[in-house]
Amino acid sequence: MAHIADALKDKGNTAFRNGEYLDAEELYTQAIQKYSRNPLIFTNRANARLKLQKWDAAVNDCLKSIDLTASGQNHKAFYFLAQAQLALNHPHEALSSALTAYDQVRSPAPSTRTSPKDLETFSAFVLKCKKAKFAVRDRERLRRQGDLRAELEETLERAKKVELDHVTRSLDAMRLGNVEAKEQSEEIFATYDGKRAELRKVFELADPTHHKPREVPDHLVDMITFEPMHDPVITKMGHSYERATIYEHLKRSPTDPLTRDPLTINDLRPNFGLKAACDEFWEGGASEWILDW
Amino acid sequence: MAGMSTKRLQKELVKIQGALPPGISLVSAPDLREWQMDISVLDNPLYSPTDKFRLRFMFSASYPIEAPEVVFMMVSSPERKIPIHPHIYSNGIICLDLLDSQGWSPVHNVESVCISLQSMLASNTKDERPPGDAEFVKMNRQRPRDINFLFHDNKV
């Protein structure tokens, strides 16, 4: 039965590449009915379901796939899981899945196939989850203070969710194609990001002491992406960079970005102290705020 | 993934809109693909301090891992000429190691490139175009990033 399943999976992959996600999902489902012990079919179906915005179903597929992988090394499943969890507004779980995916591509088990872009992609996603988690905690903190901004932001969140659910339902009922659904969702996200930014701006102007956004200190920021670091590595010259971005640079030019001295990936060492400081920025900062009141 | 350029350029733009060194100004940044900057040279008799020179930056999705493409532009109104310099061709193409894939480093940014070009003009002592300028301008159909410059002269 396994070879029939593989044939169906290949057909599913072709449909996926052509953007026919509903067909792909259906073919993977048929493949699973023939043979249900192959974790790859589950990760592929999860990916199709992510495109179809079927978040819960995607979560189940990822968990099944991870369950079937004896070695535990299944970075794709963890990455898809993180995406679905974030979409479901569970940034805490999403971060933990994203970090697992990241760790697994950073030091892959022997004979694991990873794509050269994975580290960069996963690294960026870890950061996205951290920000989402931080935003939720910040709002929670404000809400407990009976803050008007938090209440308004939650109202916006709810309105956004209603609109997004509407898109998902239209997609399910096939009143909308994938491309349109994706465009509409992106537009909804952009609109609400804009509204939230405006709202925050108003509150910041009205009451700077309580609503000023916290700035990330320079020493925690990667000099290449200008984003906060989460896995900093240090060069021979003593400068620290985010691992994924300095790897990307060294692939093209094996030199220290600041001094131009020769530099390779093997010369890099993790900077544990700085990593602790980065973690503290995300963790400690929020709890300090909660302690404030 | 859209590449890392988006976030990075958004942040650079916020910073640039805040403050820039004297003689450097942002002209336009309609999107995150192409920006225009003006620079002027304040202390070199070869250039009038009131003359401004227009720079066009073009970014790929892999910026800042990949260098931006930077050229001087001719504009009629307001008047922007191509500065005379032995490393700047009269079509605006610049021969500077910093902008070549070998010399580029991702810690550079739009502001630091402007400062480098400003100081390259400020330290210039020769009122001339690169050797073979007319020929190069007539023949060249390559984009700046595809040209293999030889950086033989570090004095100018």
Using a CB-CB distance cutoff of 8 angstroms, which residues of chain B are in contact with residue A124?
1, 4
CA distance A204 to chain B (A): 17
- Best of A253, A259, A261 to disrupt the B interface by mutation (most B CBs within 10 Å)? A253
Residue B3, pLDDT score: 67
Confidence class for position B103, pLDDT limits 50, 70, 90: confident
Residue A292, pLDDT score: 29
The verdict on A26 touching B (C-beta cutoff 8 Å) is: no
Rg of chain B (C-alpha set): 15
**Which residues of B does the annotation mark as catalytic?**
95
Q: What percent of chain B has pLDDT over 90?
A: 53
Using a CB-CB distance cutoff of 8 angstroms, which residues of chain B are in contact with residue A223?
106-107
Residue B104, pLDDT score: 92
Q: Closest CB to A226: pick one of B11, B66, B102.
A: B11
CA distance B155 to chain A (A): 20
Closest alpha carbon within chain A to B103: A260
Measured CA to CA, the distance from residue B73 to residue B92 in angstroms comes to 6
CB contact under 8 A, B106 and A227: no
Contact B40, B99 (CB under 8 A): no
| A245, two tokens | 């971005």
Contact A125, A82 (CB under 8 A): yes
| Residue B133 or residue A210, greater confidence | B133
Contacts 24+ apart (CB under 8 A), A166-175: A167/A53, A168/A53, A168/A54, A171/A52, A171/A53, A172/A52, A172/A54, A174/A22
Q: Residues near B3 by Cβ (< 8 Å), separated by ≥ 6?
A: B60, B61, B62, B63
Q: Closest CB to B65: pick one of A117, A249, A255.
A: A249
What are residue B34's DSSP bridge partners?
Answer: B58
Is domain A2-109 in CATH 3.40.50.2300, yes or no? Answer: no
CB contact under 8 A, A224 and B66: no
Average pLDDT across chain B, whole number: 87
Q: Closest CB to A258: pick one of B4, B102, B107.
A: B107
Residue A203, pLDDT score: 86
The verdict on A216 touching B (C-beta cutoff 8 Å) is: no
Residue B121, pLDDT score: 94
Return the CATH fold of B5-133. Answer: Ubiquitin Conjugating Enzyme (3.10.110)
Residue B88, pLDDT score: 94
The verdict on B150 touching A (C-beta cutoff 8 Å) is: no
Contact B94, B14 (CB under 8 A): no
Cis peptide before B64 (omega within 30 of 0): yes
Closest of A238, A224, A229, A241 to residue A275, by C-alpha: A229
Confidence class for position B117, pLDDT limits 50, 70, 90: very high
Measured CA to CA, the distance from residue B94 to residue B104 in angstroms comes to 14
Q: What is the DSSP string of A186-215?
A: HHHHHHHHHHHHHHHHHHHHH-HHHHPPPP
The verdict on B50 touching A (C-beta cutoff 8 Å) is: no
The dihedral through the CA atoms of A217, A223, A228, A233 has a sign that is negative
* Apex A179 CA angle, A116 and B59, nearest 5: 50
| A15, two tokens | 């449909």
Q: For B74, list phi and psi in degrees, rounded to 5.
A: -90, 130
Measured CA to CA, the distance from residue B15 to residue B24 in angstroms comes to 13
| A3, two tokens | 């070879």
Using a CB-CB distance cutoff of 8 angstroms, which residues of chain A are in contact with residue B12?
226
Using a CB-CB distance cutoff of 8 angstroms, which residues of chain A are in contact with residue B101?
252-253
- Best of B11, B62, B63, B107 to disrupt the A interface by mutation (most A CBs within 10 Å)? B107
Using a CB-CB distance cutoff of 8 angstroms, which residues of chain A are in contact with residue B1?
117, 120-121, 124
CA distance B5 to chain A (A): 8
Residue A67, pLDDT score: 93
Using a CB-CB distance cutoff of 8 angstroms, which residues of chain B are in contact with residue A193?
none
CB contact under 8 A, A245 and B12: no
Residue A168, pLDDT score: 84
| B151, two tokens | 């950086």
ipTM above 0.90, yes or no: no
The verdict on A253 touching B (C-beta cutoff 8 Å) is: yes
Contact A109, A69 (CB under 8 A): no
Q: Residues near A96 by Cβ (< 8 Å), separated by ≥ 6?
A: none
* pLDDT mean values, one per 10 residues, chain A (293 residues): 88 93 94 92 95 92 93 92 94 95 88 83 91 82 79 90 89 81 89 90 82 78 90 94 94 90 94 92 56 29
The verdict on A226 touching B (C-beta cutoff 8 Å) is: yes
Q: Are strands B34-39 and B53-58 parallel, antiparallel or unpaired?
A: antiparallel
pLDDT (tens digit, 9 = 90+) per residue, B21-80? 999 999 999 888 999 999 999 888 899 888 999 999 999 998 999 999 999 999 988 889
CB contact under 8 A, B1 and A121: yes
CB contact under 8 A, B64 and A224: yes
| Architecture of the A218-292 domain | 2-Layer Sandwich (3.30)
